[in-house]
Amino acid sequence: MSTEKIGAVMVVGAGIAGIQASLDLAESGYFVYLVESSPAIGGKMPMLDKTFPTNDCSMCILSPKLVECGRHLNISILTNSDIEEITGDPGNFTVKVRRSPRFVDEEKCTGCGSCAEKCPVKVKDEYNQNLGLRKAIYKQYAQAYPNAYTIDPGRCLNFKKPNSCGKCLEVCKTGAINHEMGEDVVELNVGAVVLSPGFETFNAGDLFYYGYGKFPNVVTSLEFERILSASGPFQGHMLRPRDKKEPKKIAWIQCVGSRNIREKHGYCSSVCCMYAIKEAVIAKEHSHEPLETTIFFMDMRTFGKGFEKYYDRAREELGVRFVRSRVYEVTQKDDESKNLIIRYANEDGAIITEEFDLVVLSVGLQPHRSVTELGRKLGLEMNQYGFADTVPLTGVSAGRPGFFVAGTFCGPKDIPETVMQASAAAGESSEFLSVSRGTLVRKKEYPGEKNVAGEDPRIGVFVCHCGVNIGSVVNVPGVVETARALPNVVYSGEYLYACSQDSQNTMRQIIDENRLNRVVVASCSPRTHKPLFQETMMESGLNRYLFEMANIRDQCSWVHQNEPENATLKAKDLVRMAVYKAALLDPIHQEAVSVTKAALVIGGGVSGMNSALSLAGQGYKVYLVEKSDQLGGNARRVKQGLRGEDVQSYLSELIEKVKSHPGILLFTGTEALDTKGFVGNFVTTLSNGEEIQHGVIIIAVGGAEYKPEEYLYGRNERVMTQLEIEEAIAAGDGRVTRADTVALIQCVGSREPARPYCSRVCCSKSVNLALKLKDKNPDARVFILYRDIRTYGYFEDLYSEARRKGVIFIRYSADQKPQVEEVDGKLKVTVTDHVLGQPLVIDADVLGLAAAILASPDCKKMNELLKVPMNTDGFFLEAHMKLRPVDFASEGIFMAGLAHGPKNIEENIAQARAAAGRAGAILAKSELESHGVVAVVQPDKCAACLTCVRLCPYGAPKVRNYAAEIAAVLCQGCGSCAGECPNKAIALQGYNDKMYMGMIKGLCKEVRQGGI
């Protein structure tokens, strides 16, 4: 048996989880084999139109990651590939991968698409959920990586009868197509395996009563995503698939294949409530006429961060109608319209029959059978639903050493949680293989930078259609023409997707051919796409700051979609300005700085300790700072996890591990007072006077339980919060354990105007407590008064168990809350029974309140100390809600645990480990480049007035020798100082006055010529 660990990891499944895990691992010093069974990476996310709760275009936020993953030097992508067998020992596995032939050589194919154009065979396009057609030779989607076509052997004529067609062979200029290509089995050596093979949607046809497959105007939610999508079968026009009419009244039916014991899908799919609301909101935006949208649901499960507000807004401002009723059946109207009839019961039992012209079935998530089989073959525990079971309180451990899991492989979850778990799996793998870090990675060498000083500007302008995002509104060829006529422009061209792999290749070629020394891209947001284009420039030997972007999507086609002519005029103006500015750009050279290979973790709760242990395990020094005298945080009060785990013994083991780990320096009773520096090089002064140096910071300052003012809390000792009840049960307090009647009220302090968010944990927690009470005293009458039961995922099984054990659930509405009075020493709780519609009086011995989870007051302190932002609820605000769920916008600073938002212990652990995974990717590097765009002072103009010193949020300027100096490494390039400097002594690189005057000149010159 070899004890050597291999510094490579295999990631199985290339959806967003696999991509994120691969990127994190590759950045952390491991070589990654990313194995994907389909012909392209991306998974399900490319199929989605927009994503909740930010309404970001799914493809737009994913695309940079696809490209980054696709071009990463340390990620080897194996498409059309499946795991055959894994042998060997943890740390040194041999994986046999079966590669099905693509019939197109990935290396030779340029993705030009001539083959598909000529291919005579039309096939239903699975990527478009069979709503559109593709050819027998095809690419999954426009932005697909690898940017290479693939042949569907089941449909290609040449496979049916050799030499019967061959049209593709005739047109392929690179000779990439080879019908003879055979299967291939490769053996790869890796140290760990991350499994993220994803999900499939429930087959809606299995519920015959909703008419899917029978009625043309019943579609699945994934089909509807394609209908909405600009890259979909109808180019983003919202149409009914059969008659191409625009619907006026759409119904969504929830829980199709979820919360259904009959279909052996007892679990909740966790994401459907939110995606249905999102689809309704986006559909309204798409519709040319007022669109009626109705969502039929049982419990509205908007439990994630920012979800409740999204639901509130959809309901109250955007007019999405919510009907609490599970639909019995969908029937089709007996006429030409093929409209659909839904007969449903209102909450009071009244029957309503309504006609809709489109019905969307919100299909649940399930594991693909092959995925369940793979898990079983690998010896993992697969649960009753076919998903992988994780080891309790690990977040990502598959129960077999060296195997980690991420994403929907282990249960339904949304994108942020998937990304979080992927980063955690990467962190765990990195910890597991830390001795071999850096042994198998390759380093990227860019060509030497061309010296463009003294050259006249030669500008290339690349205008993007962004599918139809831009092109359907803005006259792109017109913009290209305008750009071509501008001074210094030597090239101007249009691209369907400027960001796609083939466009990037073309861009490099054009830069070379035209000897470009400045590049302007007119496309989408620089926030998501600038780095991608800049990297292309570096690959062409150009300094990446010789680049300018015009956002003609967000600022033109999106906001002015009803005025295409004006949108085009504005796009031309923006391009003109960008070109005038580009002519004045200078190269900026960044300083490389070393990285202090140590981390500061603030907060010694479960999250902080998990982050600390993970980073220490990865081989980095960790300073763990806890302001109280003991470790453990809120978990000290929690006795049982939601899966029945013994939290206290977990906690004491965790504390023991932290205390005994040689890599962790523990500071209890200590606070961080002051932090200076930047990613890679922070210096923090602690309250004990010590000064520590570290490269990253993880903030895990926890949360707090709301002290209710409602329901006699604080005035009657039998009214308790959830945590108090839990403590009372643990302490054997007879008031609780021997109570005959217990009422638990949900949403106390949550989902209220003052706190318009869901505390996420409390429904499952109350169900858990109810079961515990039933366990102690089977004759106890336990009532749970709720607004929506939000036992998402497998917690639905707990809810089932509670109903089985006789816990009674009564729903109340926000405008008719339960009344609590003290009568004869008992608590009289009055609530209207939601089914019978009659007032119900419960004489409770104990009343439990599901008090909200609050952000810790320390979030505010951190906000002041580290300038990290908070949302309006007081929780930290991540860099991107979807794809950067543990990162702050400031590099090198990460968050974990309740400080980010309410979560259960398991989820906090996953997030803590994700933060450690992300932080580890920085610490793995020996040096980092400083932020490129920084402010510079012209000392002779500086009057040392101190304006900049007072203004700078990062403490970058200092006055020395009667003039300000700005430390480049501290400057974040925000430009506040440059704007405020009274004598214009400060300029922000790439944003100086001259450039802006140039932009205005470019704009106004044209205006003058236009005769205004």
Q: Which residues here bind other proteins, judged by CB under 8 A?
A: 207, 209, 255, 259-263, 298, 324-329, 331, 334, 343-347, 349-351, 741, 779, 781, 783, 800, 803-804, 806, 808, 833-843
Q: Which of 777, 772, 771 has its CA nearest to residue 802?
A: 771
Residue nearer to other proteins on the CB measure, 145 or 252: 252
Residue nearer to other proteins on the CB measure, 733 or 843: 843
Q: Output the smallest distance, CB 411 to other proteins, in A.
A: 19
Q: Which of 452, 432, 468 has its CA nearest to residue 519?
A: 452
Residue nearer to other proteins on the CB measure, 284 or 834: 834
Residue nearer to other proteins on the CB measure, 2 or 838: 838
Q: Is the dihedral of CA 516, 518, 522, 528 positive or negative?
A: positive
- Residue 894 corresponds to which tokens in the numbers above? 């990460």
Q: Output the smallest distance, CB 851 to other proteins, in A.
A: 23
Residue 326 CA to chain centroid, in angstroms?
A: 30
Residue nearer to other proteins on the CB measure, 1 or 261: 261
Strands 696-699 and 598-602 come out as parallel
Which string of DSSP letters, residue by residue, matches 948-975? HHHH-TT--EEEETTEEEE-TTT-----
Q: Tell me the β-bridge partners of 592.
A: 929
Q: Output the smallest distance, CB 387 to other proteins, in A.
A: 19
Strands 846-851 and 741-748 come out as parallel
Q: Output the smallest distance, CB 242 to other proteins, in A.
A: 20
Residue nearer to other proteins on the CB measure, 17 or 256: 256
Q: Output the smallest distance, CB 743 to other proteins, in A.
A: 9
Residue nearer to other proteins on the CB measure, 772 or 774: 774
Q: Output the smallest distance, CB 336 to other proteins, in A.
A: 17
Q: Output the smallest distance, CB 344 to other proteins, in A.
A: 5
Tell me the CB-side half-sphere exposure of residue 192, using CA atoms within 13 A: 29
Which runs of E-coded beta strand occur in 700-834? 703-705, 719-721, 741-748, 781-786, 808-811, 819-823, 826-832
Residue nearer to other proteins on the CB measure, 737 or 908: 737
Q: Output the smallest distance, CB 396 to other proteins, in A.
A: 32
> In 3-state terms, what secondary structure has residue 391?
coil
* 794 and 411 Cβ atoms separated by less than 8 Å: yes
Residue nearer to other proteins on the CB measure, 261 or 754: 261
C-alpha 93/C-alpha 670 separation (Å) is 44
Q: Output the smallest distance, CB 337 to other proteins, in A.
A: 16
Q: Output the smallest distance, CB 751 to other proteins, in A.
A: 20
Residue nearer to other proteins on the CB measure, 513 or 740: 740
Q: Which of 91, 74, 61 has its CA nearest to residue 28?
A: 74
Residue nearer to other proteins on the CB measure, 329 or 381: 329
- Residue 994 corresponds to which tokens in the numbers above? 């001259």
Q: Output the smallest distance, CB 96 to other proteins, in A.
A: 42
Torsion of CA 14, 16, 21, 26, to 10 degrees: 70
Q: Angle of helix 16-27 relative to helix 58-71, nearest 10 degrees?
A: 40
Q: Output the smallest distance, CB 711 to other proteins, in A.
A: 17
CA distances from residue 875 to 51, 590, 813 in whole angstroms, order as listed: 21, 34, 26
C-alpha 192/C-alpha 400 separation (Å) is 11
Which runs of E-coded beta strand occur in 136-223? 137-138, 150-151, 184-190, 192-195, 200-201, 218-220
Residue nearer to other proteins on the CB measure, 209 or 446: 209
How many CB atoms are located within 10 Å of the residue 1008 CB?
9
* 666 and 601 Cβ atoms separated by less than 8 Å: no
